């Protein structure tokens, strides 16, 4: 395995992923793109069970924030009691891998504009809204690591990956369409390469919980908003309120959501 390092490391799934015997894995978005490629690679190392999950986003939230942030944070939070219980078992290595992006650097100057999160955020540009949602993933992962030290939370950027998700994410903005097409043409990689960082985050021995990694295993690349706990704490508290309101409205009936 590679180590957490300021320069790119070499990682080959076929040889660097250890045996996953007795491991249970949950992958979201596994029907295409990076999720599908993750399933293909992980299955070759014989895990006990792999679950495939999809998500539904509440339209009351700004769509990119709902899709890129809440859609990931909600299932993690619902599973926290089970994750914590499992992590406390002898020999356990409980991981949570969250996909962010280098685009988190394009978040608004204040990082997260909380007044924009429950409406269309029409006064913000598309790039800023996308950056805000990706910054939120990093902040959530940082606070998850602080509050639950028995878990390992790895936040990863896959690189500029040519997948249908990228086309969907950019489809509502002419600017995003142009930027996506240009960067994909000159810098884009396929899912087989794009998946490496998240596979490394899921299986490497020396992951530092709460760290943001660029491909592959490169740390210390986060924006200024990722370097202090204040914004992460505020986002965590806002997120917990949203989850409990969701459950209180009856939409999350039967879902166990931790209190903190």
Q: Could you report the per-residue pLDDT of 231-244, keeping only the tens digit for each? A: 999 999 999 999 98
> Coil, helix or strand for 176?
helix
In a domain, 43, yes or no: yes
Residue 132 lies in a domain: yes
What is the residue range of 201's domain?
Answer: 13-245
Q: Which residues pair with 211 in a beta bridge?
A: 154
Is residue 166 included in any domain, yes or no? Answer: yes
* 3, pLDDT greater than 50: no
Is residue 95 predicted with pLDDT exceeding 80?
yes
The answer to whether residue 24 is domain-embedded is: yes
Return the bridge partners of 53, or none. 28
Q: Please say whether the beta carbons of 53 and 28 come within 8 A.
A: yes
DSSP letter for 99, please.
E
In a domain, 231, yes or no: yes
Q: How many CB atoms lie within 10 A of CB 153?
A: 26
Quote the DSSP letter at residue 207. -
- Tokens representing residue 117 in the block: 């999160």
Domain of 123, CATH number, reads 3.40.50.720
Residue 3: inside a domain, yes or no?
Answer: no
**What per-residue confidence (pLDDT) applies to 211?**
98
Domain count of the chain?
1
**pLDDT per residue over 147-173, tens digit each?**
999 999 999 999 988 654 454 454 456
In a domain, 251, yes or no: no
Please report, rounded to a whole number, the percentage of residues in the chain having pLDDT higher than 90. 64
Q: Confirm whether 254 is domain-assigned.
A: no
d(CA 213, CA 221): 7
pTM for the model? 0.88
**Distance between CA 69 and CA 57 in Å, rounded?**
10
Helix (H) or strand (E) holding 26: strand 24-28
Give the model confidence (pLDDT) of 107-147 as tens digits. 999 999 999 999 989 899 888 999 999 999 999 999 999 99
């Amino acid at each position: 395995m590679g180590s957490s390092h300021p320069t790119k490391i070499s990682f080959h799934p076929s040889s660097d992923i250890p045996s996953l015997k007795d491991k249970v894995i949950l992958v979201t978005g596994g029907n295409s793109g990076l999720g599908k490629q993750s399933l293909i690679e992980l299955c070759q190392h014989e895990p006990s069970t792999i679950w495939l999950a999809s998500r539904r986003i509440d339209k009351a939230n700004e769509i990119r924030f709902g899709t890129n942030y809440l859609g990931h944070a909600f299932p993690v939070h619902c599973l926290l009691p089970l994750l914590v219980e499992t992590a406390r078992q002898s020999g356990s290595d409980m991981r949570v891998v969250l996909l962010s992006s280098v685009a988190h650097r394009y978040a608004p100057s204040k990082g997260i504009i909380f007044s924009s999160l429950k409406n269309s955020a029409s006064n913000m540009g598309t790039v800023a809204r996308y950056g805000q949602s990706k910054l939120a993933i990093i902040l959530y992962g940082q606070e998850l690591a602080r509050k639950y030290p028995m878990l390992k939370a790895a936040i990863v950027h896959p690189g500029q990956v040519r997948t249908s998700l990228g086309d969907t994410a950019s489809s509502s903005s002419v600017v995003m369409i142009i930027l996506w097409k240009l960067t994909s043409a000159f810098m884009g990689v396929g899912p087989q390469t794009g998946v490496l960082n998240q596979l490394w985050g899921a299986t490497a021995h020396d992951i530092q919980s709460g760290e943001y990694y660029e491909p592959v295993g490169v740390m210390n690349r986060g924006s200024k908003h990722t370097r202090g706990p204040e914004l992460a704490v505020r986002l965590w508290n806002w997120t917990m309120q949203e989850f409990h309101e969701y459950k209180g409205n009856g939409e999350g009936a039967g879902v166990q959501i931790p209190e903190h």
